[in-house]
Chains A and B, each alone.
Chain A
Amino acid sequence: MRPFPEKLRASWQRSLTAKIAISFIVMAFVMALLYGIGAYAAIYHILRVNEEVSAGKRAELAAQRVETALATVNSTVESLATNTIVVNALVDAYGRESYLVPFLKSSRLPLDIPHRLSLCDFKGAVIASSEEGFVSYPEESLLKDLVESGSPVARLIGENRAVLLICHPIIYPAIGSAEGFLALEIPLAQLFFRAGISRDATENGVQLLSDNSPVWLLGKTGGSRLARQLSLPVPLSALTFTLVLWSAGSRVMIWFTGIFIAVTLLSLYLACRSAYRISGQLTASLVSLEAAASEIAESGTPHGEVVSQGNDEVGRLASSFNAMVHRLKESYAVLEGKVAERTRELARVNMELENIVADRTRELERSNNELAGFCYAISHELRAPVARLQGFSEALKDTEESEENRRFCVERVEVASRQLQTVIDAILLLSRLSKVEMSMGEIDLSGLAREVVADLQSHGEGIGATVAIQEGIFCRGDRSLLRVCLVNLIGNAFKYSSREEAPHVEIGMTDDGHKKCYHVRDNGTGFDMQYIDKLFVPFQRLHQQEEFPGTGIGLATVQRILERHNGRVWAEGNEGVGATFFFTLGES
């Protein structure tokens, strides 16, 4: 089992879906963290402040209620203590019960708080009371304050000090001093109940303290404490009441925190699910693109179609991919067609090439053969003069030969040397023809022919021959090489027609619209067409040297020149009639 971080890393590397999902989740997490912390802190602070304000207001309200209730009660007792009925009763004797008791019983406190109201004499003995079962208030300190000082007094009495006693002195005007007092007892529980003091859901309890000692409690203590000292009139102020609210504290905060965490976790969970779903949807097209591309890569042929979802970039990519695949299919088909065609063409070209190669091979073989033949011919041609040179040189070495013989030998050596030189020059010329740089240009071939004729005739060749040169023959080629070519062809025409009574040489051109074909025709001796193959082989002569002298390399030179021009030369001969040499220059 690979650990989770490794799995995560692997998923990240393998899958765009995972990348998007993880990125989305991380982004959501970071944002959630940042906003969450910020929002939580802000809301927590606001809630806390609100809670404190609310608690403070509740405490304030409760304190006000209690203060109002107590102040009103105190005022009521104070007012009753100055009531002339009460004052009168204090100094009355028997019979006062008839009006005093109903008066005390009918006294109503604010909020209708249950109470006991008693008229007491200067010793604290109860003269009359609103309730049965009253007791006296003989406490020395109480009487000292009330009667001697004429000051109202408040005490907490009873079990657990749960009863509030408020005593107001009754001043007898005729005496000007307190001769008794009204004593009001109120159960604190009733006071708070009537004052509407209760605890709401956020409060554990409400407590009353007197001099920091608890005297009344609703609910229970515990939680956060919010105290308000009650502002009360004399004599209640001496009890130093403090109202304490015990708040349940941060129940709201706990709920808020719990809800916040739950919502955050839920949000993250939903974000993760949504991330995966959305990223899956986002990358669905990419996945199918990848699948389609993989399939194409595997199969090597464009096929398949990606379902395009939406018109966003991915959708457009899918559409473009489909279009591309479609175009590729078409192109593939075209390509296949072309390939097939090209294959066919190639096959044909191959075949042609093969043919050409074969031709070339044959040509090469022929050339090799020719070359071999040429070398043989050269060696043969060279052998003769060289042999003669050697022979005659040897002869010259013989000192015993006569001067005439020597002179004959020297002439033979000269002839042989000249012959050798001629052959060598011809070979050199032939070889140079393969390497010389051609300077192509438009050539007035008619003009060149006239020039060559004039030149040859100036050297005594073609004397008496009529020459017909077709006018307006223009061609493209190397002027110097074509001059050589014409020199050889016209020279041969003059030579082989020199024995005719009316030698005639014709230079012309035919153009069938596709190719120009030039010719040099003579009416000379012609040749046997069966020897046509030897015609253009160097040093292969169809006539004896004595009949028609020559190097035997002229036509080979013409052929080489025309080959350099991508043309060719061929001949048609008829013995005793004449010969025509045709040539092309690779023009079309």
Chain B
Amino acid sequence: MKSLLAGMLGMCLMVCASVVSAAELKPVLIALDAEFGRTTSTADDAIKQGILIAMDEINAAGGVLGGRNLSLIETDNRSIPARGIENTRRIAENPDVVAMFCGRFSTVVIETIDTVHKYGIPLLNPWAASDKIVDNGKNPNYVFRLSLKDSWAVPAMLSHAKKRGFTDIGVLVPNVAWGRGNFEILKKMVPEQGMKIVDTQWFNYGDKGFMDKYQSMKKAGAKAVIIVTPETEGAILIKEMATLPARDRLPLISHWSITGSDFPALAGPSLKKVDLAVVQTYSFIGASGKKAAQVVNAARRLFGKKSVAEIVSPVGLAHGYDLTHLLARAINKAGSTDRKAVRDALEQLEPYKGLIKTYNRPFTPSRHEALSREDVFMARYAADGTLQRIR
């Protein structure tokens, strides 16, 4: 009789323990809503790889909250705002998701801001550069970015143009929120740089040709063209320009959206014929340091990247990596998966030595941008297709 009772008590204890341990070991979910359905985009994969590499490290180190692994769920917004909204809603309605990452497209992310704040889920932005994503006027602001910002990209492009003596520039911008935002910044900053926008050409996503717009800008006297284009439209422009005589090919200074793809593959041999400079914030090439090697190794281990040259859209991987570590720290700091607590914790993170840089205070209540203007540089596609910093 007693032994029976003891046995039963033991079983109960074991069940409770398993329940408790199960509850305690339940993974912490992190979501990534990116343009996985956009086949030309590599940023989504890069971001995901960065997140996973970080998660791997974190989980290997014991996870968060005393042993809970981080786990990633992903949704595909196909670079479509409506899908981003829907995905964000679903993610946010999942109580097990503590925070979410977004993908490349500012136009999508901008549209999710309201939903993010409706559900109060921290949004971590490893790529989308539109100022309004973080400068959204929300309070509390649930959006945290470790990435380029348009208002840093524009001066970087203008500085590059000016350094090269291109004061009369043409501007090719998409008629989307991201493009309109960049144009507003350009409009403001170009005169400040003593430069002049001689012609602005707007295009629509899906346009099949840009020669008329290019020729207009050239005819207007543009010495260089600042392009704010996704990879699909950018590739079309490069190919069209490559058909022109060399003297008619103006230098292009591009925002970094095209790097969210395997742009050399998209543009093909035409890329070599065009003077193209593009904004970047990180490059594995030439990167030294333990962290870089650690990440590259992890990339090789986890994703088969044999070399840094095979890491396409490196900024996405780097940003995703660092941002995931920051999130993990915030979760631990919050001591829970409470989103509000995690959000608050993000603003209070201690300095972190990340891949890209050492973040003294990654985020503050008044600054949800982990990077700064100084982290922005111009790069070129090398012959091997890698992005090389322009020195």
Contact B177 A95 (CB under 8 A): yes
**Residues of A contacting B178 in the complex (Cβ-Cβ under 8 angstroms):** 93
Query: Taking the complex as formed, is A127 at the interface, i.e. its CB lies under 8 A from any CB of chain B?
Result: yes
Interface size in chain B (residues, C-beta < 8 A): 30
Of A167-175, A286-294, A445-453, A576-584, the stretch lying at the interface with chain B is A167-175
Bound Cα distance from A123 to B78, whole angstroms? 14
Contact A175 B78, beta carbon cutoff 8 Å: yes
Q: A91-B107, A93-B108, A172-B206 are in contact. Are A127 and B177 (CB under 8 A)?
A: no
Contacts of A175 in B (CB 8 A): 37-39, 78-80
Q: Which of B81-89, B93-101, B138-146, B348-356 contacts A (4 or more CB under 8 A)?
A: B81-89
Residues A122 and B80 in contact, CB atoms below 8 Å apart: yes
What residues on B are CB-neighbors of A93 within 8 Å?
81, 106-108, 110-111, 176-178
In the complex, which of the residues A88, A123, A174, A180 contacts B175, with contact meaning CB atoms closer than 8 Å?
Answer: A88
A84-B204, A173-B206, A174-B230 given; A94·B177 CB < 8 A:
yes
Contacts A88-B174, A88-B205 known; A122 to B110 CB distance under 8 Å?
no
- A117-176 residues with Cβ-Cβ distance < 8 A to B are 121-123, 125, 127, 172-176
* B81 near A172: Cβ-Cβ < 8 Å: no
Is there a chain A Cβ closer than 8 Å to B232's Cβ?
yes
How far, in whole Å, are A94 and B111 apart by their CA atoms in the complex?
7
- A-chain residues with CB within 8 Å of residue B174 when the two chains form the complex: 88
Binding site for A on B (CB under 8 A): 37-40, 78-83, 86, 105-108, 110-111, 174-178, 180, 203-207, 230, 232
Q: Is the CB of B83 within 8 A of A179?
A: yes
Contact B83 A122 (CB under 8 A): yes
Q: How far is the CA of A87 from the CA of B79 in the complex (A)?
A: 12
Q: From A87, which residue of chain B is reached at the shortest CB distance?
A: B206
A-B pairs with beta carbons under 8 Å apart, 16 shown: A84-B205, A85-B204, A88-B205, A91-B80, A91-B81, A91-B205, A92-B177, A93-B108, A93-B176, A94-B177, A96-B177, A121-B81, A174-B40, A175-B39, A176-B39, A180-B80
What CA separation (Å) do A125 and B180 show in the bound complex? 24
B206 contacts across to A, CB distance below 8 A: 84, 87-88, 172-174
**Which range contains the number of A residues in contact with the other chain?**
20 to 34
A520 within 8 Å of B (CB atoms): no
Asked whether any CB of chain B lies closer than 8 Å to the CB of A99, the reply is yes
Q: A93-B177, A94-B110 are in contact. Are A177 and B204 (CB under 8 A)?
A: no
Cβ 8 A contact of A121, one of B39, B40, B82, B106? B82
The contact of B82 among A87, A99, A179, by CB within 8 Å, is A179
Q: Enumerate chain A residues within 8 angstroms of B207, measured Cβ to Cβ.
A: 84
Asked if residues A91 and B232 are in contact (CB atoms below 8 Å), the reply is no
**Chain A: minimal CB distance from B213 (Å):** 12
The answer to whether A282 has its CB under 8 Å from any CB of chain B is no
Interface pair A122/B79, CB less than 8 Å apart = no
Q: CB distance B176 to A177 under 8 Å?
A: no
Which 6 A-B pairs rank lowest in CB-CB distance, beginning with the nearest?
A121-B82, A88-B204, A84-B204, A93-B177, A87-B206, A92-B176
- Chain B nearest CB: distance from A530 CB in Å? 182
Contact A99/B176 with A84-B206, A177-B37 known, Cβ cut-off 8 Å = no
**Cα–Cα distance between A466 and B92 once the two chains are bound (Å):** 206
- Shortest Cβ distance from residue B144 to the other chain A in the assembled complex, whole angstroms: 20
Q: Which residue of B lies closest to A88 (CB)?
A: B204
Contacts of B111 in A (CB 8 A): 93-94
Please measure, in the bound complex, the distance between the C-alpha atom of A94 and the C-alpha atom of B109, giving whole angstroms: 11
Q: In the docked arrangement, what's the CA distance between A421 and B37, Å?
A: 189
Which residue of B38, B107, B111 has the most chain A CB atoms within 10 A of its CB atom? B107
Q: How far is the CB of B331 from chain A (nearest CB, A)?
A: 30
Supply 4 further A-B pairs (C-beta < 8 A) apart from A87-B204, A91-B205, A174-B205: A84-B204, A88-B175, A90-B82, A180-B80
Which residues of B have CB within 8 Å of A176? Answer: 39
B204 surroundings in chain A (CB, below 8 A): 84-85, 87-88
Do the beta carbons of A92 and B107 come within 8 Å of each other? yes
Could you say which residues of chain B place their CB within 8 Å of the CB of A172? 78-80, 205-206
Q: Please name the residue on chain A nearest to B106 by beta carbon.
A: A93
CB distance from B162 to the nearest CB of A (A): 29
Q: B39 CB to closest chain A CB, in angstroms?
A: 8
Please give the distance in Å from A124's CB to the nearest CB on chain B: 10
**Using Cβ atoms and an 8 Å threshold, which residues of chain B touch A92?**
81, 107, 175-177, 205
A84 to B110, CA, bound (A): 21
Which A residue sits closest to B130, measured CB to CB? Answer: A93
In the bound complex, how far is the Cα of B78 from the Cα of A299, in angstroms?
131
Taken together as a complex, chains A and B put the C-alpha atoms of A90 and B232 apart, in Å, by 16
Which A residues are in CB contact (< 8 Å) with B82?
Answer: 90, 121-123, 125, 127, 179-180
Q: Are the CB atoms of B205 and A87 closer together than 8 Å?
A: yes
Residues of B within 8 A of A180 (CB): 80, 82
Chain A residue nearest in CB terms to B37: A175
Residues of B within 8 A of A173 (CB): 206, 232
Within the assembled complex, what's the spacing in Å between the Cα atoms of A88 and B79? 12
The interface residues of chain B lying within 8 Å CB-to-CB of A88 are: 174-176, 204-206
A173 to B208, CA, bound (A): 10
Measured CB to CB, the nearest residue on chain B to A171 is B206
Closest beta carbon of chain A to B22's beta carbon, Å:
36
Give, as a whole number of angstroms, the nearest-CB distance from A200 to chain B.
48
Q: Whole-angstrom distance between the alpha carbons of A173 and B80 in the complex?
A: 12
- Considering residues B111, B174, B204, which has the most beta carbons from chain A within 10 angstroms of its beta carbon? B204
| A:14-64 near B, CB below 8 Å | none
A99 pairs with B175, CB closer than 8 A: yes
**Complex CA–CA separation, A85 to B205 (angstroms):** 8
CA distance A95 to B82 in the complex (A): 14
Distance of A367 from chain B, by nearest CB (Å):
165
Q: Looking across the interface, which residue of chain A has its beta carbon closest to that of B231?
A: A174
B81–A174 touching, CB < 8 Å: no
Instruction: Give the residues from 329 to 371 in chain A that come closer than 8 angstroms, CB to CB, to chain B.
Output: none
User: Is there contact, CB below 8 Å, between B86 and A174?
Assistant: no
Instruction: Give the residue of A94, A125, A127, A179 whose beta carbon is less than 8 angstroms from that of B78.
Output: A179
